[in-house]
Chains A and B, each alone.
Chain A
Amino acid sequence: MKSTTKTKAPRYQGAEPPAEESWSLRLYVAGQTPKSLTAFANLKRICEEHLEGKYRIEVIDLMVNPQLAKGDQILALPTLVRRLPAPVKKIIGDLSNTERVLVGLDIKPLL
């Protein structure tokens, strides 16, 4: 599970790793389904809005690397895993409900 850098689609690759508070997010998808594309778009948007400059997104396509599903106990897709900061959190779904994503990720709205 450590070698998660071998993800597909570098075009998904998010922003540069930040210095102080770093957010490591991992999005599990299965192929480029509408759901996974929606999820990635939503994630990207939320991160840009709330975590600008201090996040990193890894996208793992389980169609390509099915063996990676076991490590993070992935069942539902898409699943977003917050690896850092601890504790690990899991959010399933296409992330269309922004409020719940923020609650799930424990991000205080910037308002």
Chain B
Amino acid sequence: MAQRIKKVKSSLEPLQKCPTGIKGLDEITGGGLPMGRPTLVCGGTGCGKTLLAMEFLVRGATEFGEPGVFMSFEEKSEELTKNFASLGFDLDTLAAQNKVALDYVHIERSEIEVTGEYDLEGLFIRLGYAIDSIGAKRVVLDTIETLFSGFSNEVILRAELRRLFGFLKDKGVSAIITGEQGERTLTRFGLEEYVADCVIFLNHKVDQQIATRRLRIVKYRGTAHGTNEYPFLIDEQGFSVMPISSIGLDHAASSERVSCGIPRLDTMLGGKGYFRGSSILVTGTAGTGKSSMAAHFVDAACRRGERCLYFAFEESRNQIIRNMRSIGIDLEKWVNQGLLEFRNSRPTLYGLEMHLVTMHKAIESFQPAIVVVDPISNLVAASNDQEVKSMLSRLIDYLKIKGITAFCTDLTAVGGSMERTDVGISSLMDTWLLLQVMEGSGERNRGLYILKSRGMAHSNQVREYCLTDNGAQLQDVYVGSGGVLTGAGRVSQEARERVDILERGQEIERKQRDIERKKAVIEAQIAALRVGFEAEKDDLEQAIAREVMHQKALVEETLAMARSRKSDDLPPGRVTAKAGKRGGK
């Protein structure tokens, strides 16, 4: 680990920090707790002090190579081991490897009889021995205030506590001291006056019956730190803090486009779909098909092999799968392939911050390309509008930084304005699809339009769409006299057009038949004329032949006459002609 820093006792060095390994806490403390100094963790009962301390120790031992001593004044070592086994911390093994030492300090006032001067050197010896035996770099004292119940002499006790913190500093260990919250003070016995370097306050607040755990760094000397109250979560993986308020607006913007799963909707969105990493909001009244839109988007993403995380606040996983199957989308297949994961929870299960932290954690562990929140409006049940808005803006900022496409649905209240969201987050959204019910001619039809889509050309048309067995289908646009035709109006328009087309087809066919007929007639006429012509031609040829014969005979006759007269005054032309004829013979 790069953060593993050697102790340097130089005053010129900046404050060395000791990473806790707890998700989020290192971020808000700017690297961890002060190294070689004690840190006070205080809070009410059951707020997670011991867990924070134990995780600090175990992570130190397992991830940062820093062994640790856990000195418990409340729970026995076996109890601790058992309790933390459920978080996956194997304290027995760690103890066997000399990475962690557990020491249970039992204090029972009734067993202690005070008979004069004493000090707590025994505690120092025990602690010192435990530290030296495993070369500990981290120490937890949980919770040292129990001493106050065991020893009545506060003067001695306070002097000894002061000495103890000095002792810890001399040992150079990074220590966590836990303390119970007092009525007006951070700790019941004023431990904060001894631990001056870093104080962390844990809080478990119940608001509207919903409990939220929060963490605040009250002070941290010599370093900048996040000052807000940060929600944190305790679950089977331990402690995690979410530094959600520290997110800025400097995320990269991808120009890659992702299909929304409905080809014709892609066309409306400039032909390519949504921007990757953008936030998409689908609003509509009940039953307009918001979840179906989400399912389409998820389905398309899974087809591309991308991972999707689906946060459902209304329906169970199986219900969604069943319902989407009815429109021909098989989500179960993607669940089985590990591409899709559902996280179903009631919004009232815990506070908003907790939802955010849970989502944050789920996103961190699943690493999805697409996150669906269905619906965001339900989160209002867990809190008020203002908080929901701030929570969602943080969620969306976070998703944008991670380059994850966010798809949120929002239920619009009937009667309210369509172009507003219940939680007023529309301004956070890049693309806003509005689904609405168009009522008319005694029926309700679903309509869709793109209210806005930042950074891309998009259609301005209101489109009707139907949920069919093959998913949501955008219908052709029919503009009638009273506006866009939908439903039955559209169907009758379609029928009319079909009739028109049919009629036109028939007309063409009829005309073509006419042509054929005319052609046949003309051809028949041509044939008749040709026959007549042939007959005439024969006659004429015979006449010509006759004429030729006749002429020949005449010439013969003339010649014969001339020969009989012995005449030679035949005209030269005739003579040649005769001679020719004669020569030809």
Contacts and interface: CB of A to CB of B under 8 A. Distances in A.
Interface of A: 28, 30, 35, 38-39, 42, 62-63, 66-67, 69-70, 73-79, 88-97, 100-101, 103-104
Contacts of B151: 76
B106 interface: yes
A97 B115 contact: yes
Given A69-B126, A74-B126, A30 B118 contact: no
Interface string B105-129: 1110001111111111111011011
A91 to B, nearest CB: 4
Nearest to A66: B129
B103 interface: yes
Return the 10 tightest CB-CB contacts between A and B, nearest first. Answer: A104-B113, A93-B116, A66-B129, A96-B116, A74-B122, A94-B116, A93-B115, A77-B121, A100-B115, A93-B118
B118 A62 contact: no
A15 to B, nearest CB: 21
A92 B106 contact: no
Interface of B: 103, 105-107, 111-123, 125-126, 128-129, 133, 147, 150-151
A62 B119 CA distance: 14
Interface of A is mostly: mixed
B282 to A, nearest CB: 63
A95 B116 contact: yes
Given A73-B106, A74-B126, A90 B112 contact: yes
Nearest to A95: B115
Contacts of B120: 75-77
B118 A76 contact: yes
Contacts of B133: 67
B114 A94 contact: no
A43 to B, nearest CB: 10
In this complex, the member of A30, A75, A101, A104 whose beta carbon has the largest number of chain B beta carbons within 10 angstroms is A75
Contact of B118 (A42, A67, A77): A77
B115 A96 contact: yes
Nearest to A94: B116
A97 B379 CA distance: 67
A96 B117 CA distance: 8
Contacts of A67: 129, 133
Contacts, number: 97
Given A66-B128, A89-B113, A90-B112, A73 B105 contact: yes
Contacts of A104: 113, 115
A70 B103 contact: yes
19 contacts: A30-B125, A62-B125, A66-B125, A66-B126, A66-B129, A67-B133, A70-B126, A73-B105, A75-B126, A75-B147, A76-B122, A77-B118, A77-B120, A77-B122, A77-B125, A89-B111, A90-B112, A92-B112, A96-B117
A76 to B, nearest CB: 5
A58 B168 CA distance: 31
Contacts of A89: 111, 113
B117 A35 contact: yes
In this complex, the member of B105, B113, B114 whose beta carbon has the largest number of chain A beta carbons within 10 angstroms is B113
A97 B116 contact: yes
Contacts of A96: 115-117
B113 A90 contact: yes
Nearest to A100: B115
Contact of A100 (B103, B113, B121): B113
A74 to B, nearest CB: 4
Contacts of A76: 112, 118-123, 151
A18 B19 CA distance: 58
